[in-house]
Amino acid sequence: MTALATALDSFMDSVRQQLVWHQHRASSIGEEIAEALALWPVRGASGSPPTPRRLPAADHLETALDLARNEQTAAVAAAIRAVSPFLKWHYGYPPHPRYPDLGARVAFAQIAGPEDLRGSERLLIGLTLVAPWTLYPVHFHPAVELYLPVGGVGLWLQGDEPFSSRGPGAIILHPENVPHATEAKAEPVLAVYTWRGDLQSKPVYSEV
């Protein structure tokens, strides 16, 4: 087995284990976890490894991984560290007139998907990384999203609710088309995401 295959299996298994740990919740979060687990990529499923690429925000990855503060997120962090040399970081949004440097301060790396390291047709799995002192502005998308914060304590907003502090070990659900945002303060924020449903429509900022 190659180093990449071993790293991918470790990442997928550790994220799945964390979702299973949260599945006891009798709520929409538990229901979404069940939906995601039903679509979980087959272990060892071949993908189409993209050419690795770094963005400036990825310079904060090691710091964020060092901030994993409990047993579950430490296992995920170790798996991310092993797979990190193979990641293709991207940003993808058009320029934001109020925050012109977001392309250097926010980055995403998709790990499982139709054309990603681990083949997955109906569920996307990847990473979101926000540099310190950065607001990832309010945005929305039709896909249903779960976030598992791995490293760094950030402020998370959803709908009309105020920002709340969430850190490693939490789980966050963003239903389809519900506006949400993430803000990093002194620490970078790293989280694993899953996307289910409409995987074609890209996220857009609510206000520009």
- Read off the pLDDT of residues 174-191 as tens digits, 9 standing for 90 and up: 999 999 999 999 999 999
Instruction: Report pTM.
Output: 0.95
d(CA 151, CA 34): 24
Q: What is the mean pLDDT of residues 86-94?
A: 94
Q: Please say whether the beta carbons of 84 and 151 come within 8 A.
A: no
Determine which helix (DSSP H) or strand (DSSP E) holds 14, and give its type and residue range.
helix 3-22
Q: What is the mean pLDDT of residues 132-160?
A: 96
42 token code pair: 């087959």
Max CA pair span of the chain: 48
134 token code pair: 């950065």
- Which pLDDT value is given to residue 5? 87
Question: Residue 190, SS3?
Answer: strand
Give me the numbers of helices (H) and strands (E) for the chain, helices first please.
4, 12
**pLDDT for residue 70 is more than 90:** no
d(CA 98, CA 20): 39
The distance of Cα 71 from the centroid of its chain, to the nearest Å, equals 19
CA distances (Å), 36 to each of 115, 152, 158, 176, in order?
18, 24, 21, 14
Q: What is the mean pLDDT of residues 86-113?
A: 94
- Written out in words, the top-level CATH class of the domain with range 3-200 is mainly beta
**pLDDT for residue 208 is more than 80:** no
- Read off the pLDDT of residues 126-141 as tens digits, 9 standing for 90 and up: 999 999 999 999 999 9
Reported as a pLDDT band with limits 50, 70 and 90, residue 119 is very high
Domain ranges of the chain: 3-200
